[in-house]
Structure 1
C-alpha cells in the first residue's frame, strides 16, 4: 500500500538555500510548520487515576504553544490501558474522556502551532508494578541494570498482533477527531515497535520475524492502518532509533533501510533518536565524541547518511543548545527540523529566545544525587525534567535549581502510590 501522490511540486518540499530556525517548512502533504522548532515528546506524568489528561496538560501545552515552537509532540499516549510504559501515562481509547483531549488539542494548537499525538505500546518495557504479564514479539526477558523492574514477557499470538495494529489505528482516529493536527508513532527506545525491529528481541519464526523485511512488517502494518483511518492529508510521523546501541539489537544499517521503506510508503516526518532502556542513549546521547559536543546534535552524523538515501523530512533531537548550533545543523542539510526537549522544560519560551538572538545559548547542569546507582534506578536524567514539567502545568515558573532529591522523592511517591493501588485493585 503506497500513499497517494499529491500535487505538490517536488521543488517545494526541498530546501535549496540554507534554512534558519525561524523559517517555515512545508511537509510533503502540504502542511506548513511556521518554524523549524520541534518540541520532542517527553514524559509528562500528568494523567489522572482513569488515565485521562489532567487539566495541567492544557496549561502546559498552552504555555509551550505561546513559547514559539512550530510543532509540539505530546508524551506517550498509550493505545492499551492494560499496557502502560509509566504509572501516569495518558490512554486514548473508547473509554477515555474525550472532552479533555479536545481541550488539550485546542491549547496546543493555539498560536498557529501544530500538535501531534505520540502513540505507543510498551511491549515488554512495562514496569512490573504496572503489569505482571507483559507481551513482546518473543519471550525474551528485559536485560540490563533495570532488569529487576521488568517481568519476562510472553510472545504475542498473531491475532494479538493484529489487535494491537487496530488499536494504533483507533487511537490515531480519535486523536484526529479531538483536534490533534497529526500523530507520531513511537518506534524507538525499546518499546514494542522497536522490539519487533530488533533481532535481539524478535526471534519469531513466522512472517513477523527473521529477515528485516519481516521484522519491519509490524511497523508498516501500523502505518497502513493509521493512514486508512486518518487519510492522506493528515500528517503521520515516527520516532525511530538510529540504532539500539546494544549487542544484537537494531543496527544503523537496518535503520537506514527502514527509512528508505518509510519514505517509499509516504511517511511524513521521521524523528531520529537512539537507544533503549537497556542502553540509554536517548537519555544522554550515548558516548559523546568531541566532534558531537561541538556540533551539539547527538544523531546528526546519522542524519547526514540517511539524507543521502532518502528525501523524507527529518528531525534530529538531542543536544541542541544554541542558535548557532541549530542553524548550522539546518544549513548542513542533514535535518529539516530541530528537535528540542529538556531546554523547553527549563525555558518554555526557548524557541522565541533562540529565534530573537543569534547568540542565544542555554546550559543545562549535570544532575546527580552523588549516588550513581540511585541516579540510574530513578532515571534521574529524565525524572528531574518531569518535575519542571509539573511546575509549568501548575502555572508556576520553572526552577533550574530544583534539588535532585525533590524529583527522586516525587518519583518514589508516584510509583509507590500506583503500585499500592494496583495491589488493591
Structure 2
C-alpha cells in the first residue's frame, strides 16, 4: 500500500463504531469558551475546519467537569444541559463529511493556577516543585465524599455530551491532571482505598470509566489519554501504565491514546525538537511508539500514538508496523488543518511545525511558548483565518502574556476576588 492508501483505511472500534480514516486530532486546549466557561460558535468553526481538512477523529481540548476547578481561563465547562444548543452545533461541525468528534473530559486537580483557583485539590497535599510554586498553590487532599462527587460529575458531563450528539468522550488521564495524579505514587500518597498501592491508585480511573459507561451505554465510545510514564522520580512508571491499560481493556475501553509527562516535566510539549528523545525515536517520528509496542504484546486494544509525526511515510509505517491504529496529530494540524486531505490525495509532505523559541531559557525549557503560541493559532482558525506557520518567539511571547493576563484578571473579577 502507498501511504495515502494505508492512512485512508477506515478503522472499527470495539463498540462497532467505525472511524473513516487513520488520522486523529489529539486534544489541545483551545481556551475558546466564554469568560464564564460556556462554549462559543468559534468552536464549531474550528472543528469544521479540521473535519473538512480530512481528520477522521477529532478529540476536543479539555472540557472541565466542575466550574470551580478549571485549568485555564476560558475553558469550557459542562455540568448540565444549559448549553445543549451550542454543544450540538459544535458536535455537528466536527462530524462534517462523516467524521467523528469526541470530547475530552478533565478535572485539573492541583494543576489549576493560583490566578484561577487558590484552593486546588488533589489526592494528597503534595506541592509542586519549587520552580512552579509561584504559579500553583499547594493542594488540599480530597475527602472520600468529594472523590465520589467528582466521579459522578464525570458521568453527568458525559451524559450531556452524548445528548448533544458527540460520538464519544476521552478521559484525560495524562499530563499531570487529576486522574493522572491519582495514578502517580508521587502525587497520591493516600493510605485509604484510593491509594497506598498501584492497584488502589487505579481505582479512581476505573470508577470514572464505569460511571461513564453506565450513564452512556455500550454503544457510546469511551477512550482515555494515558501517560506511558511521568518521567519524574517517584512518579507513574511504564509498568504501572501497562497494568492500568490491562485493567481498562478488561472493562471494555474503546481507545487508548498514549502520551507522557506533566507540568513539572512536559514531555508532551517538548518532543524531539528540544532534544529530549533518542535518535532512533526521532527517526521513527513517534515519541511513544516503543511503549505502544509493549502494549501490543499484552493486548490488541485500539491504540492512538501522538507526538512527533511529521511525514506521511512515518505515519504510514507506524500503522503498517501494527504498533498503533491511529496517527495522533496536534501541532501539525494547527499549522496545516488540511494536512490529512493532502496526504490522502497522494502528496508527499513534511509538516511545517518548527520550534518556537523566545531565547529565555526557563520559558523554553518548560515549553510554555510552544503551548501558548499554538493556542493563538487555534484562535485564528476559529475566526476563519489562516494560521501562521512561523513567528518570532519573543514577540509572540509578549502577545501571549498580554492575552493570558487580561483573561486571568477578567476571570478573577467575575469570581469576585
Give the deviation of 1:403 after TM superposition. Answer: 3.0
Cross-structure match for 2:383:
394
Cross-structure match for 2:225:
239
Answer yes or no: is 1:361 the counterpart of 2:347: no
Cross-structure match for 2:242:
256
TM-score by length of 2: 0.95
Q: Answer whether contact 2:354 2:390 (CA < 8 A) is retained.
A: no
Cross-structure match for 1:413:
402
Cross-structure match for 1:186:
172
Give the deviation of 1:37 after TM superposition. Answer: 0.4
> Take 2:387 and 2:222, find their aligned partners in 1: how far apart are those partners?
32
> Take 1:100 and 1:222, find their aligned partners in 2: how far apart are those partners?
25
TM-score by length of 1: 0.93
**For each residue in 1:70-100, what CA deviation from the matched residue of structure 2 results, as whole angstroms up to 9, or x when unmatched?**
1000001000011001112111112742211
Cross-structure match for 1:34:
20
Give the deviation of 1:235 after TM superposition. Answer: 0.4
Give the deviation of 1:419 after TM superposition. Answer: 3.2
> Take 1:235 and 1:406, find their aligned partners in 2: how far apart are those partners?
42
Question: What are the within-5 Å matches in structure 2 for residues 258-297 of structure 1?
Answer: 258-285=244-271, 287-297=276-286
Cross-structure match for 1:70:
56
Question: Cα RMSD (Å) of the superposition?
Answer: 1.6
Give the deviation of 1:33 after TM superposition. Answer: 0.4
Match of 1:299 among 274, 284, 288: 288
**For each residue in 1:174-216, what CA deviation from the matched residue of structure 2 results, as whole angstroms up to 9, or x when unmatched?**
0000011100000000000000000000000100001111000
Answer yes or no: is 1:112 the counterpart of 2:101: no
Question: What are the within-5 Å matches in structure 2 for residues 329-348 of structure 1?
Answer: 329-348=318-337
Give the deviation of 1:49 after TM superposition. Answer: 1.6
> Take 2:177 and 2:335, find their aligned partners in 1: how far apart are those partners?
27
Give the deviation of 1:398 after TM superposition. Answer: 1.4
Give the deviation of 1:227 after TM superposition. Answer: 0.2
Cross-structure match for 1:310:
299
Cα separation, partners in 2 of 1:95 and 1:264, compared to 1, 3 Å = closer
The farther-off stretch of 157-166 and 96-105 is 96-105
Question: Which ranges in structure 1 are unaligned for 5 or more consecutive residues?
Answer: 1-17
> Take 2:44 and 2:263, find their aligned partners in 1: how far apart are those partners?
29
Q: Answer whether contact 2:266 2:367 (CA < 8 A) is retained.
A: no
Question: Which ranges in structure 2 are unaligned for 5 or more consecutive residues?
Answer: none
Q: Answer whether contact 1:52 1:96 (CA < 8 A) is retained.
A: no
Cross-structure match for 1:199:
185
> Take 1:19 and 1:249, find their aligned partners in 2: how far apart are those partners?
40
Aligned residues: 408
Q: Answer whether contact 2:109 2:177 (CA < 8 A) is retained.
A: yes
